[in-house]
Amino acid sequence: QVQLVESGGGMVQPGGSLRLSCVASGRAFGSYPMGWFRQAPGKEREFVAAISATATTAYADSVKGRFTIYREYVKNTLYLQMNSLKPEDTAVYYCAAARRGLIVKFKEDYDFWGQGTQVTVSS
């Protein structure tokens, strides 16, 4: 069973940037489709970005052009580069991995989850 450990959250001003990291255990990291989700208070956990085992990517419309998902295979690490941050980006961000699939956008299809990291965008 893969274990995911997230880091990089914090507080940033509107227009600022953060990079989230998710370190995965196990030698099969590169074979997993992975993704980022976020959940704000009182809201459902929503899709942010996904990446395939071969680094094909997909984004939610709300973050397209501002966020970039990528992975470094030798480090077993998934990243989310977040630029031009807005207050509405404030949420707990979760990384996730699936055992199968290409681009996985539904939270129900993910098998492993990190603990989450808080991102707060405020003046």
pLDDT tens readout for residues 69-93: 999 988 889 999 999 999 999 999 9
Question: How far apart, in whole angstroms, are the C-alpha atoms of residue 18 and residue 107?
Answer: 23
Tell me: the pLDDT tens digits for 9-18?
Answer: 999 999 999 9
Q: Is the pLDDT of residue 28 over 70?
A: no
Measured between alpha carbons, how far is residue 48 from residues 13, 66, 77, 105 in Å?
20, 11, 17, 8
Q: What is the mean pLDDT of residues 32-48?
A: 96
